[in-house]
Chains A and B, each alone.
Chain A
């Protein structure tokens, strides 16, 4: 191929234009990547779930004592605020219910000044593919029952504690000190998490959002 000065100049201009274009494309991709990463980090920070719990009981005894066929109905009213620019998927909500164990405190004669027992363990609430889009608020209910058929061990424990508190201190189940612990597991959409390799632990955890809420209902004094 014959190369004169004009053709060489054209090739050099073409190479300059290509180099500039490549640099601009990669600069834009870098900027977009940084913005995307920042959005994911902001979503992890800004997601704000709140659960408001309401408990009712049916089939109690005449003086509010807990019987074998008593059923406690839990209704958690959940609000999830997503002010971020990323859509977020709610995977599940887990709950643990703890009650102040007056029975254990009494049995150990103050060796355990303040005891709590877990009575409701991990009933999960899984709205199917619940998507919370960017800049939105979702509201829904989680409903579950706590009875002898649902959780035999926990229910027997709760029954003993509640009936003991009622018989000895006159505290009905509504006046007991209860602690409610919620765990909300969410996932930022559009961020893959199935990785293996040196940074896999970090990459797997990156889109996962775990938020917790701990509330205590103050009970009456024995």
Chain B
């Protein structure tokens, strides 16, 4: 039928989407914590006096390597990182307004603070995103290298299938 796109939902595509969601959630939790860490270092657990971008940078690089090694492709990795950054920014904002979830504390317009948290966490979000991409790129390369070296691995079979097409 003209104008219609047939969507074929296969088991593989569902697993792929679930993996993308899981990886982006992992990235989102870590980025969210660190965006709160740079905004409110005095109340994060553990508390710090001098928040630096080095610690988040190293951890996000390692996270990128892991996620990259487990991701299906670079396209998936890009989606996971972008989704993760958005989720992280949202989590950072939710952590910032967390006292308002108690019935005693009320703020008329908590959404106004989204700009405050975004402004504080923007350097982390930009640098963190770049670090994740760098780590993810090398992780994906390592993952594909492992798959190619291992002839029987399912990843290698996928690669073979793609190359045959």
Contact = CB atoms under 8 A, between A and B. Distances in A.
A130 interface: no
B36 A33 contact: yes
Given A37-B40, A41-B99, A11 B30 contact: no
Contact of B30 (A5, A9, A26, A193): A26
Give the interface centre of B30, B32, B101, B119 by most chain A CB atoms within 10 Å: B30
A8 B29 contact: no
B42 A38 contact: no
B42 A206 contact: yes
Chain A interface, >50% SS class: helix
A23 B95 CA distance: 16
A198 interface: yes
B164 interface: no
Interface residues of A, number: 43
Contacts of B73: none
A29 interface: yes
Given A23-B29, A26-B30, A37-B99, A45 B104 contact: yes
A140 interface: no
Contacts of B69: 12, 15
A121 B32 CA distance: 48
Contact of A36 (B25, B39, B45, B67): B45
Interface in A1-47: 2-5, 7-9, 11-12, 15-16, 18-20, 22-23, 26-27, 29-30, 32-38, 40-42, 45-46
A203 interface: yes
B26 A41 contact: no
A141 B48 CA distance: 36
B146 A11 contact: yes
A19 B67 contact: yes
Interface stretch (B9-17, B126-134, B148-156): B148-156
B102 interface: yes
A23 B66 CA distance: 12
B70 A15 contact: yes
Interface in A40-73: 40-42, 45-46
Given A15-B69, A16-B70, A195 B30 contact: no
Interface string B27-65: 001101100110111111111110000000001000100
A129 interface: no
Given A23-B26, A42-B102, A42-B105, A29 B45 contact: yes
Report, nearest first, the 3 A-B pairs whose CB atoms are least far apart. Answer: A41-B99, A5-B152, A34-B98
Interface of B: 23, 25-26, 29-30, 32-33, 36-37, 39-49, 59, 63, 66-67, 69-70, 91, 94-95, 98-99, 101-102, 104-105, 119-120, 146-147, 149-153, 155
26 contacts: A3-B146, A3-B149, A5-B151, A8-B150, A8-B155, A15-B69, A19-B66, A22-B30, A23-B30, A26-B29, A29-B33, A30-B32, A30-B36, A32-B45, A33-B36, A33-B43, A34-B95, A36-B45, A37-B98, A45-B105, A46-B104, A191-B43, A194-B49, A195-B42, A198-B119, A206-B43
